[in-house]
Every structure is written in structure tokens, then in C-alpha cells.
Structure 1
Amino acid sequence: MPGTPAAPPRRATALLVVLGSLTAVAPLATDMYVPGFPAMGAALRTNSSAVQLTMTAFLLGLVVGQLLLGPLSDGLGRRRLLLGGAAGFAVFSLACAAAPDVYVLIAARFLQGVAGAVGMVLARAVITDRFTGADIPRHFAVLSQILGVAPVAAPVLGGAVLAVSTWRTVFGVLCLVGVLLLLGVLTKVPESLPPERRHRGGPAGTYRAMGDLVRDRAFLGYVLVLGLASGALFAYISGSSFVFEHVHGVTTGTYSLVFAVNAVGMLLGGAAFARLARRFRLNTLLSAGVALAGTGALAQVLVTAAFGETMAGTWITLFVVMCGIGTLIPATMSLGQNIGRAAPGAASALLGGLQFLCGAVASPLVGLFGEDSSLPMALVMLVSLALAALALVLLVRPRQGHGEVTGAGR
């Protein structure tokens, strides 16, 4: 089904800025308040485990929100849900700021996650609605780069707020972000799915479309590749601070530099994908990204096993992994969304939902196996990426060219 004719360049730029901001809000809300965990525990008279549950609740809300509201948008349209999501994010952020105890905070964080998921899932659907051909992988590359930068910027921004105020102010700032997103959607995001292109049959019809996508072997393969690779990414995010600060003994400032440099690797992977997408098949670039990330994870395991814990070896191999992940994320999004073009909201929900579900599962596994070595993190990443490669070979079957967009190289 053809997309809506692309907007003029200036309007398209404004649209993409708002869509990128909607994509960034979830990682910002995930990580901005992390530096305030100790103060939150003291203020709410609770332990660290209960405080960490607020993070789990938010991630669960992201998964539920994407799986619930993405498919509904195929029948109801995008704009109303985007407006509701931005408004809800502002309201529930304010509820987090005013939470009298940790139980109210956990509930508010779950609802904040559901509202924040609307922007993430529908940003991808709007791009699929409005753009065609080689524009799609280019724009998805931008969204994936934003996802790479936001987790780096979030703790820095949160730390700056905490330097002058309390953890409650962090949620006040997120409330303001929600208000700004609401204004951005009101002024810059028109309805991208006209009534004549919407799914009929109510919610049941839209969820049947999701079921049809799950039964599509290639689409399921792309969903699994993205989800499993994201498991490796979240294992890195959750485990890298322990590896560099506890195992290698670096300062918090040095670790921030390491994390930022590796984020640049993810950006470089996305930039390379955007440039090469016009010349090479997207399945070829996806295969290269999976191979590069898997090679980096395998190298980390082998280097640690052969030479012991080395700062340089860990840093270099993780940089390679981030370059590969930066390439494969926009590739899987582009290919999966193109297969699901008849139901972009449902396709986006499945791609994004499993992405965060795998992340939520992989993150605690690193700590479960100990924090005195980099091997637990490396092994979780390697297993995740090996399973992603298996899904690529058995389900995607790149040579068959499923989901290739018009204008991509052959």
C-alpha cells in the first residue's frame, strides 16, 4: 500500500524533529532519575529493591503500551493517540513527582511507561505512513541514533537537575517535556492515516492484523533479530558500569567517557546504514550488522578468557558491538515495517514490544551471575546475538529479500 505523499522538506524536517523527540522520551524517562535512586529510597523510606521496581514498572509499561496502542492506531488513526499519549505522559510524570510512597510511584511509573510508549510506537508508524522508498531506512536510522544518544544524555541531564534540586524535580522536568511534546504534536504532526486507509472491524480487526504478522515467517524473524539484539544492548547498558568501575577500577567520570564513546560507535553504525541503504540491499546490511555485533561479543569473551581482564580489550570489543547494533536496529525496523505496511501500528508494536521485553529480561541476568568479571555481561551479549543470528538464518533468510524497499540497492 503506498504511503501518503511526502511533505515538503521544511515540513518533513519539523515532523521528524517531533517524531524523534517522541522516540527519545522513553529512554530519557528511563535513565534521568537513576542518579537519584539513593535519595529516593531515603525520602520514601524504602529499600533499593523497591526503588529499582519503579524502573521495572516503567519498562513493563513501555511493552504493554506498544502492544496495546500500536495496533489500535491502525483503526483509530495516529494523531488522537499521540495527543493522548503526550498529555498522559505529562500527567503521570507529575504524579511521579508528587508520589507520597514507593507504591504510588511504582503505579505512576507503569502508567507513565504506557503513555510514553505511544510516542515510540507511533513515530515508526507515522514514518511508514508518510514516506516510501529509500527515505524509510534513512529516517529509521535517525530514530535509532536518537535511541543511542538519549541513554547517554539522560543521566547527565538528571545529574544536573539533582545538583540543584531533588529527584522530584526530575519528574517535574519530564512533565514539562510531555507538555512540549503535546504542543509539538498539535502544531507539527498532522494525521498520517486517513479514514479510508484505516482497518475496519474495530479493535478485533486490528489485533487480527497483528496475528497475521506474527504468522509471517520473515516478519517474525525480523522481530526476533531486533528483540534479541536489543537484549544484548540492554545487557551492556545494565552491566557496563559494574564492569568498568568495579572490575577495571575506573572513576565514574571515566566510565561516562567510555559510555559516550561507545554511543558514538552506535551513531556511526546508524550513519553508515543510512548512507549505504541507497546502494546495498537492506538484508545485506542487516546481515553485516548482526555479524559485526556478534564478532565483537565473541572477541570480548575470547580476549577475556585468553588474556584476563583488560580495559583496552573490553572497550574496543564493546565499541565493535555497538557499531553492529547501530547498523542492525534501523535495518530490522525498515524491513519489518515495510512487510507490515498494511498495518504499520501493529508492526511497530511487535517490533518495539519485543525489543523492550528482551531488554527487561536480559538486564538482570548480568547481575545474577556476578559482578566480579566482565564474562557474565559478555556471555549474555554473545548468547543474545548468537540467537539473533540463528533467527536471521532460519526465519529471515536474507537472500530471499523479504521487506526490501523500493530504491534500495540491489
Structure 2
Amino acid sequence: MVAPSPSRPATASASPGPTPGPAADPAPSRRAAAVLVAVLGALTAVAPLATDMYVPGFPAMGDALGASSSAVQLTMTAFLAGLVVGQLLIGPLSDGLGRRRLLISGAAGFVLLSLACALAPNVTLLTGARFLQGVAGAAGMVLARAVLTDRFHGADLPRRFAVLSQVMGVAPIVAPVLGGVVLTVSTWRAVFAVLTLLGGLLLLAVVRAVPESLPPERRHSGGVASTFRAMGALLGRRAFMGYVLVVALVAAALFTYISGSSFVFENLHGVSSTTYSLIFATNAVGTLVTGTVFSRLAGRGVRLNTLLVAGVGVSLLGALGQVVLVLSLGETLAGTWITLFVTVSGIGLVFPAGMSIGQTVGRTAPGAASALVGGLQFLFGALASPLVGLFGEDSSLPMALIMLTAVAGAALALVGLARPWQGHGEPGAAKAGA
């Protein structure tokens, strides 16, 4: 099947909203663009840093607060729930209110709530503060994508999304290391003090370097109700939801890998925690490499849908290979490492391609589109990650099967809903979605 020509007329009407286009909002200068993307990348890193930095301090936190391990783990669940809720609320609101004031409010709220976490006298208050911290931290994540959609167009947009995807690949590796360093010199409360400091620096950076990217004439009129109606309209668009589900299901596979890989490598294969960190870092390098390849190829005019199909295909090959190896050869360190490397490397293509296309197809309401792309990504990830432990700890097969199921679901969403051969979301294409 052949992709439609860019001159082909659109087959679906856009939902009510602002009129997008480069003429309405020229891209910033090269230096300003670099600074803007750097700040937006740092905002994107807030969630993984706040999620993983304090994990090494879980035992000490439980002792200090007199809380069970499950109660301590609930503080992380609360933060992830806050990220989902925050993105689904803040993204659509920004289409009517603008980006900057919500970014500043979110960054300021993150500072105050990080301080509240550092001072929490018991695990109940800590859990509540973590939920609200997640809501505030969600502003940076969801609005970073919306601001990029406002400010960049054509082939520039996927290259910028590749940067955000690479940040998301590096931050989960750096976060536990930073947390471990802090814990060698202080207590778990100092981790939240560091997050408070980082949040303060980000607040200053937003104030100085992130101008309003959505002028009043391009905002949704009709108040809050109108912005959420625009979100509902996006939910009814087949192609858009196809791309959203591709990203969300691949995120579920990634979260499954993050939550289950330490058990697989350390408990089943007997590697040390240091060796596991090396394995995890090596696999992360795979995502960085494929993210860089994506950026270069997208800049040279390779179709985003082609890159998305390639990413899903690579991840599916790796996930299927992992299941086949476990069933045929049993548990092997090399086989597990190689197949996971392949799967995670494919994800390095899927995230920037899927987010770029999704934001382009949903450009009539970028904040709402970003909310659905990011909110469902974390929702699916949070639902998938605990499943590994529910199916036993004597084999890597549960992790492999869950990852394969998630990536296979992404492939089905790609073929059945997104239909990449139709060319949705390509730079310069007239067709914006179905």
C-alpha cells in the first residue's frame, strides 16, 4: 500500500480550536531554540528523577517512619498516579490558558511539595505529598511536548522530540546513582532536599528561558469546558488514538523491563548489582543510539511512519526472541541481555516517532494531545510494572511474555488504528488524521 501524496486533500475535519501553522508562530533562533529545548528536556527529566532517586533509601525510610515496605512503595505509586492525573488535567487546560503560567505554577508547586516530602513526619503525609508532587511535576512533562509543538514545525519537530526521548532514556539510569551518592552522605530526606533545589533551579530557568508559546488568538475559546471537549474529540479520532496506544503499550513493555530486569539478572543469573548497572546502562545506550539515528533520518526526510514501523518491528523481534530463547534453551545470561537490548533499542525509535506523529495529528489541541500521549504512557506503564512479580520469581518468562504481549498490542494498534501507510502526521502533509 502506498502513502498518500502530501497534496492529497484531508479526509477528516479538525476539531474546534486554534489555527496551527508556522506562520502563526515562527520558530525561535538557533541559540534560543537550543536553550529552550535544554530547559524543556530538564523539565522532562523531573519525573524519572523524582521517581527513582529515593529508591535506594526505601529501607531507611521505612525504619525512620515506622512504616512497612508496602507502605513505602505506595509513595511511589502515589507519585505515578499524580503524574497521570496531572498530565490529563494540565494539558487540556493549557490549550485555553496558555503554557507559561501553568509551567511556572507547576515548577513552583514541585519545589514546595518536594520540601513537604523532605519534612513529612509520617508515611501517610508523605504519600499525600508525593501524589501532589506528581501532579505538579506533570506540568513540566506535558507542557514540554506542547511547547515543542507550538514552536517547531516540519522536520524540526521530530528532531526536538528525539531529544526529549533521549532524556527519558538517560534520567532513569542517573537517578538511582544520584540518590545513592546523596544517601552516602545524608539521609533519605536529603534526596527530597536535592529535588527541592533542582526544582528551584528549573523554576528560574522557566521564568527566564521559556516564553509563552501559545498566544491568546490561538487558544481555545469557551473556557475550561471547551478545552476538555477538544480532548474528547481527540479520543474519537482513530488515527490519533492508534499512535497514542502504540506509545502507551510500548511504554508498558519498557516499565515491565525496568521493574523486572534487576530480579532477572541479579536473582536468576547471579550478577552483582554493579554488573546489573552496567547491563542496564548498556541497554540504555541502545536507546540513545537509535534515538540519534531517528533524529538524523527524520532530518533527512525519511518518513516518520516508516521509522515508527521499524521501531515497533525491532522491539517485537527482540521480545519474541526472548520468549523463544527461554522456552527452547532455558535461562541464558547472553540470550536475555541481547534480546532485551534489541527490544529496548527499538523503543528508542518508537517514542520520538510516535510522539511526533501524535502531536502533529493532534495539533489542533496540542496540550490535550500531549496529555493523552503522556498520561496513557504512564498509566499503562504503572499497570504493567507490578505484573512481573505476580507470576512467580523462578523464571524470566513472565517478564518476557508481558513485554511480548505489550509490544504485540502496539503492533496491532499500529496496523489496525494508526495505519501508517496512510501517512498521518508527516511533516508538510495536508492530511492531519482520521
TM-score range normalised by the length of the shorter chain: over 0.9
2:168 equivalent among 144, 147, 168:
147
The alignment partner of 2:31 has SS state of helix
Q: Which deviations, in whole Å up to 9, do the C-alpha atoms of 1:159-190 show, x marking residues without a partner?
A: 00000000000000000111001000010000
RMSD: 1.0
The equivalent of 1:34 in structure 2 is 55
Letter in 1 for 2:413: A
Q: What is the TM-score when the length of structure 1 is the normalising length?
A: 0.99
- What SS does the aligned partner of 2:95 have? helix
**2:400 maps to which residue?**
378
1:138 aligns to 2:159 (yes or no): yes
Partner of 1:2: 21
1:399 counterpart = 2:421: yes
Residue 368 of structure 1: which of 382, 390, 403 is its match? 390
8 A contact 1:269–1:322 mirrored in 2: no
CA distance in 2, matches of 1:147, 1:341: 23
Q: Residue 292 of structure 1 corresponds to which residue in structure 2?
A: 314
Say if 1:335 and 1:404, in contact at 8 Å, map to a contact too. yes
Residue 204, structure 1, aligned to residue 234, structure 2 = no
Question: Residues of 2 paired with 1:271 and 1:285: CA distance?
Answer: 12
Out of 372, 382, 392, which is 1:350 matched to?
Answer: 372
For residue 406 of structure 1, report the CA deviation from its aligned partner. 2.3
1:87 aligns with 2:108: yes
Query: Per-residue deviation at 1:276?
Result: 1.0
Separation of aligned partners in 2, 1:207 and 1:270: 32
Is 1:219 aligned to residue 219 of structure 2? Answer: no
Alignment-derived partner of residue 432 in structure 2: none
Shift in Å, 1:279:
2.8
Q: Determine the C-alpha separation between the residues in 2 that align with 1:126 and 1:405.
A: 17
User: Structure 1 residue runs of 4+, over 4 Å off?
Assistant: none
Query: Which residue of 294, 302, 324 maps to 1:302?
Result: 324
Alignment check: 8 A CA contact 2:253 2:407 kept:
yes
Q: 1:115-170: per-residue Cα shift (whole Å, max 9, x none)?
A: 00000000000000001010000000010000000000000000000000000000
- Note the 1:218-237 alignment, pairs <5 A: 218-237=239-258
Q: What letter corresponds to residue 33 of structure 1 in structure 2? A: Y
Distance in 1, matches of 2:26 and 2:78, equals 39
Using the alignment, how far apart are the partners of 2:187 and 2:283 within structure 1?
Answer: 30
Counterpart pick for 2:145 among 124, 131, 145? 124
Q: Does 1:312 align with 2:331?
A: no
Q: Distance in 1 between matches of 2:287 and 2:297?
A: 15
- Runs of 5+ in structure 2 lacking a partner? 1-19, 430-434
The alpha-carbon deviation at position 373 of structure 1 amounts to 1.2
2:289 and 2:230 mapped to 1: Cα distance? 35
TM-score, structure 2 length as denominator?
Answer: 0.93
Instruction: Tell me the secondary structure at the aligned position of residue 342 of structure 2.
Output: helix
Task: Report the Cα distance in structure 2 between the residues aligned to 1:16 and 1:256, rounded to whole angstroms.
Answer: 28
Distance 2:324 2:165 in 1: 29
**Which structure 1 segments of 5+ residues have no match?**
none
Q: Give distance in 1, aligned partners of 2:291 and 2:428.
A: 20
